[in-house]
Amino acid sequence: MTSAVQIEVYATSAAASLTCAAEAAARAAAEPELVLGLPTGSTPRQLYAEMVRLHRAEGADWSRVRVFNLDEYWPIDPGSVHSFARFMREQLLEPGGFDPARTFLPSGTVERGAVDRHCAEYEAAIAAAGGIRIQLLGIGVNGHLGFNEPGSSWSTRTRLVELAEVTRRRAAPSFFPDPVPTHGISMGLATVLDAEEIWVLAFGAEKAEAVAAALEGPVGVACPASVLRAHPRVRWVLDEAATARLTRSR
């Protein structure tokens, strides 16, 4: 297993986010039809805000960049304040000047009987775009990547998954008084590993254990993010707090 793990530690999540946004903009300038895989969650908020600022204030052009979202709740209406479709639209895609025809998310409204076909089509769309060039990821406190919860096989592709209890519990305050969906549609771990390059962002003390498990713990399905050790080009973008449990990697 060859792996070139790159670990970057920043004083703050803001500093890390600014660096990643600037680098993404440089990559899009060099390759306008860049294919990005993007996550939702609290982790990428500052990154997306800076990508928007770069577009508005410094002319960064995201209009030809293709975007595939990592996951979406299922079922969920794309207009719901809880949907990842709405999060992406509001936080990045509309204010950043992305082309809606070039941005793709798993559907939260596809019928149960059509989910498998939808997931296969999502994988086919990624392949038709030439594959994901840069996959950005957050990491769950339980080491999940997207909705690939502990126990997910490394050979998984985009599919309907049941959310882990801890994932639903963490989402509960923002859903209140609505219940958190029990399922999501997520790119699989094999989908993530297919990306040419992966940038994993993890900020704050609450992520320290998952970061240490992913980088230094046993490689296996108990910690989905440990799969990243099988990828040749992974960049870990951390703040100081997220490194607290690392012993060997720093």
What residue type is 165 in one-letter code? E
CB of 108 to ligand PGA, least distance (A): 17
Nearer to ligand PGA, 45 or 102 (CB): 45
Nearer to ligand PGA, 32 or 204 (CB): 204
Q: Is 118 a catalytic residue?
A: no
Nearer to ligand PGA, 43 or 107 (CB): 43
Q: How far is CA 207 from the centre of its chain?
A: 15
For residues 123 and 158, the answer to whether their CB atoms sit within 8 Å is yes
Catalytic residue among 149, 194, 231, 239: 149
Nearer to ligand PGA, 173 or 218 (CB): 173
Give residue number: closest CB to ligand PGA.
41
Q: How far apart are CA 153 and CA 158, in angstroms?
A: 12
CB of 188 to ligand PGA, least distance (A): 15
Contacts of 220 (CB under 8 A, 6+ apart): 226
Q: Is 142 a catalytic residue?
A: yes
CB of 65 to ligand PGA, least distance (A): 21
Contacts of 182 (CB under 8 A, 6+ apart): 162, 163, 168
CB of 38 to ligand PGA, least distance (A): 12
Catalytic residue among 50, 71, 72, 239: 71
Q: What is each CA distance from 141 to 26, 45, 56, in whole angstroms? A: 31, 17, 34
Which residues of the chain form contacts with ligand PGA (CB under 6 A)? 41-43, 138-140, 144
Q: How far apart are CA 125 and CA 79, in angstroms?
A: 23
Q: Is 144 a catalytic residue?
A: yes
| Catalytic center residues | 71, 142, 144, 149
